[in-house]
Structure 1
């Protein structure tokens, strides 16, 4: 009887109060008479994410329901867990958020915990003055001079990338180009970032690639954890929760600390990303001519930025490169046209792929941009309001701390912006075509002061990979590739289920 009384007088009222609290939370947009996607426990408007739907697919469903049908022309309310957030798709409003009123939306609202989860405190996630300091200090990493030096490293790895297709040509077996692209970018980033010889191409994989899968394919439970961390950042920080798995943190911290220790002990100097971070740690600057500063960074900061540079560059670049190869295999006329341009430019440059030669390949850039339009590695952008921000159209206030989401994938596939959007057509990015479109209908790298800092490096890496392969190989689609392509809901980036299998032959 005592237990029953406890259940009746304590537990049931508590559950009722919890139910009413949750129900009240999910009335936020209804109370404001604002169009919204209904939310429910536990993930708000994102139930099924990571198991049934990709994050991008859920936002695209909202885009199709509200923007494309005319129910709402600028934005739609959603719920991230219990928290109201705003899905914005009006291009002028997006420009305001990313560029014109950047100071009102300078942070992404991602979880990071410098004390308990040091690798999470990287440039993509950190906020405020520390972000501004690191962004300013690291921007010189991607000047033309430093890029030219890194290009020499990319070129050294290029021959091995080309030769790894030999066995598929000889055996007449299809190649999974996503896996091969990952090995290539893993070796490039490993060398350019840390001076490490990952040998992924030679050994058909590396430990860093295994670690990469843990980062970008977190599984249902870790997906739920990441969702919780973003939804309840303050509570998660107080509880000391970690976004990065402990074994990943230990492995990567050991790699960075051992490499830094070896270089400092033996006075080893390399012109790579880690060397610049070491200069920032020891001198507070990455430029040789600048005076030393008292504002330096810690070893944990070094490891966090190296972690971001490696994994973001390795995975996003391989995604872009493999999708470009797929689209070229599916559109042989485009592949032939690109090959003609590559051969013409190389003939004028002594037959060598150089940094300058790649800059002359304008059709190549159109091919890559059209690939990034159809298959943006990051299908959405996220910002949070640093202060209350009043919108007049639509008539609503974005409250301080409220998240704003920009559905990049949906905008890139909007038929009112890009006619027949599923068709691969590099001519969309001819200069005259670009000029007549809105400046913010193409956002693969974001925009404004918080755009992708490694954008130029990523483009260089993909350009070289395509020039090296297309100049000497011909790609066609193998029947193992499942068409139409299906997004892998378990991946945090846009990745295809079942792989991208292509047949390869020599030109």
Structure 2
């Protein structure tokens, strides 16, 4: 009996300590005099349901309007039991992303380049490791290098055209699946030098592992959170955020590709070739200032892996949302098709990279798609020291998680009137000049702006040009009037399948 009473007393004491610790964390913003969201849950804070019943965009949008209605520039909230700041004012977003980048240079994501090598992609790296890798990789994503990879993307686009011509009559055809196969084939080819053939073999090992790399269940979500919040502890226990079978698969592919290319002196116009050049020479031969030592095979694998996982889903969803809007707005679809056909005729039927970039209405359609459906709904950073927020009396501690709600800004009528309407003319030069800077952030901004944005835009534009030049997309009775997003995916993605009536066009 005495032992039971002792155990009970210990349990009650521990519970009270945990309760006190969590409540003290939740009182941080009031102690610092910073306005904060009301009624945080003891464990889930202000993000209850995140990744299960609600996507992060809707939670952050609710907080955004709660703070904006109080005319606040920033607001505090609890990201589970992590005190965090939500940026409301675009000028403060500029300070976080550009002006005071030296304070906000890291994202606060778990990285263990030794124990979990594929976690060491450019997106996650911090401090000097990030700077060195960014310096080495930046020359691989210049406009000139995109031209280098353009032909490969065009070849895969022709395979998609052929597949759709043979299958467009199918009532069960979902364009999101087709577009995922297209982007998987392109990026697998460009990043790993592998002919994935996902268009015709959707269940190949590469396709299966690629999809698994993007799946997020409750366990993996906890790993991401714990790894980001308690980095030293996570490394001590050997935490791995990349599933072991996925890590082994992609690492083996990278190792085999490097071995083959170096032993047989294989040359290709792809990302892997550029990485090999950095590995062996320390820099690209045409870029004298990219500098530094070379990279290891493990580092190459990590960069290819993040290139693949970040690119295949975001590019395919952007094209999918764009086709949905063009099906729902047929006059815009016909206008864009007219521009495409005029451009192709100008190039004698073979669209060049330069002409693709000159297509003004296509660029505005893609920009408006990214405005209405940003693939990543928020940009986040971590302070590396105490920081006083400009034009406020608020000072936030070091290691504070700061989020900029991209989706909420993109759907704020102050910046984008009638935000639910799809209107490419929002991106006419005069309209852009009228908007405050840093209200449109589909790729982030500043030194950590998405390094692959040129490639992602090229990929999406080639896919759209190929499809719209050869097919007309119309809604069906099953096409939803408004899309609902899947709560369990990082990127914005429709919760249910979106079907189209697809009509082949004569040249």
Counterpart mapping for 1:205-284 below 5 A = 205-284=203-282
Cα distance, 1:392 vs. partner? Answer: 4.5
Contact 1:190 1:310 (C-alpha < 8 Å) held by counterparts: yes
The 2-side partners of 1:76 and 1:391 are apart by 11
Query: Which residue matches 1:58?
Result: 59
The 2-side partners of 1:380 and 1:318 are apart by 19
Query: Which residue matches 1:27?
Result: 27
| Residues 359-395 of structure 1: per-residue CA shift (max 9 Å, x gap) | 1210000000000000000000011112221125332
Could you tell which deviates more after superposition, 235-244 or 117-126?
A: 235-244
The 1-side partners of 2:33 and 2:233 are apart by 30
Three-state SS of the structure 2 residue aligned to 1:347 is helix
The 2-side partners of 1:504 and 1:280 are apart by 44
Contact 1:82 1:231 (C-alpha < 8 Å) held by counterparts: no
Contact 1:26 1:79 (C-alpha < 8 Å) held by counterparts: yes
Three-state SS of the structure 2 residue aligned to 1:193 is helix
Cα distance, 1:291 vs. partner? Answer: 9.6
Could you tell which deviates more after superposition, 405-414 or 353-362?
A: 353-362
Query: Which residue matches 1:472?
Result: 470
Could you tell which deviates more after superposition, 82-91 or 31-40?
A: 31-40
The 2-side partners of 1:455 and 1:309 are apart by 11
Whether 2:12 is the aligned partner of 1:12: answer yes
Cα distance, 1:433 vs. partner? Answer: 0.8
Three-state SS of the structure 1 residue aligned to 2:118 is helix
The 1-side partners of 2:199 and 2:439 are apart by 36
Three-state SS of the structure 2 residue aligned to 1:12 is helix
Query: Which residue matches 2:179?
Result: 181
| Residues 260-309 of structure 1: per-residue CA shift (max 9 Å, x gap) | 11111222122321122222222211225749976222221111111011
Three-state SS of the structure 2 residue aligned to 1:230 is helix
Cα distance, 1:116 vs. partner? Answer: 1.5
Counterpart mapping for 1:68-217 below 5 A = 70-171=69-170, 173=171, 175-217=173-215
TM-score, scaled relative to structure 2: 0.96
Could you tell which deviates more after superposition, 219-228 or 361-370?
A: 219-228
Query: Which residue matches 1:486?
Result: 484
Three-state SS of the structure 1 residue aligned to 2:200 is helix
What is the number of equivalent residue pairs in this alignment? 504
Contact 1:183 1:205 (C-alpha < 8 Å) held by counterparts: no
The 2-side partners of 1:352 and 1:247 are apart by 42
Counterpart mapping for 1:312-323 below 5 A = 312-323=310-321
The 1-side partners of 2:368 and 2:318 are apart by 10
Cα distance, 1:443 vs. partner? Answer: 0.3
Cα distance change of structure 1 residues 207 and 478 upon mapping to structure 2, 3 Å threshold: farther
| Residues 95-137 of structure 1: per-residue CA shift (max 9 Å, x gap) | 1111111111111111111122110111001011111111111
The 1-side partners of 2:336 and 2:157 are apart by 18
The 1-side partners of 2:411 and 2:10 are apart by 52
TM-score, scaled relative to structure 1: 0.96
Cα distance, 1:445 vs. partner? Answer: 0.4
The 1-side partners of 2:155 and 2:100 are apart by 43
**Structure 2: runs of 5+ lacking an equivalent:** none
Match of 1:345 among 331, 334, 343: 343
Cα distance change of structure 1 residues 56 and 167 upon mapping to structure 2, 3 Å threshold: same
Contact 1:178 1:322 (C-alpha < 8 Å) held by counterparts: yes
The 2-side partners of 1:421 and 1:72 are apart by 20
Whether 2:46 is the aligned partner of 1:45: answer yes
Whether 2:324 is the aligned partner of 1:326: answer yes
The 1-side partners of 2:93 and 2:71 are apart by 15
Three-state SS of the structure 1 residue aligned to 2:199 is helix
The 2-side partners of 1:421 and 1:293 are apart by 44
The 2-side partners of 1:216 and 1:438 are apart by 34
Cα distance, 1:146 vs. partner? Answer: 1.7
The 1-side partners of 2:292 and 2:88 are apart by 43
Could you tell which deviates more after superposition, 341-350 or 404-413?
A: 341-350
The 1-side partners of 2:292 and 2:437 are apart by 40
Cα distance, 1:238 vs. partner? Answer: 2.1
Contact 1:35 1:72 (C-alpha < 8 Å) held by counterparts: no
Moved runs in structure 1, 4+ residues, more than 6 A?
A: 291-294
The 2-side partners of 1:412 and 1:167 are apart by 38
**Structure 1: runs of 5+ lacking an equivalent:** none
Cα distance change of structure 1 residues 275 and 41 upon mapping to structure 2, 3 Å threshold: farther
Cα distance, 1:500 vs. partner? Answer: 2.1
Contact 1:481 1:498 (C-alpha < 8 Å) held by counterparts: no
| Residues 27-78 of structure 1: per-residue CA shift (max 9 Å, x gap) | 11122332212433433322211111112221111012221xx214211101
Cα distance, 1:344 vs. partner? Answer: 1.3
Match of 1:422 among 420, 423, 444: 420
The 2-side partners of 1:24 and 1:114 are apart by 34
The 1-side partners of 2:99 and 2:390 are apart by 16
Could you tell which deviates more after superposition, 182-191 or 474-483?
A: 474-483
Three-state SS of the structure 1 residue aligned to 2:503 is strand
Contact 2:193 2:270 (C-alpha < 8 Å) held by counterparts: yes
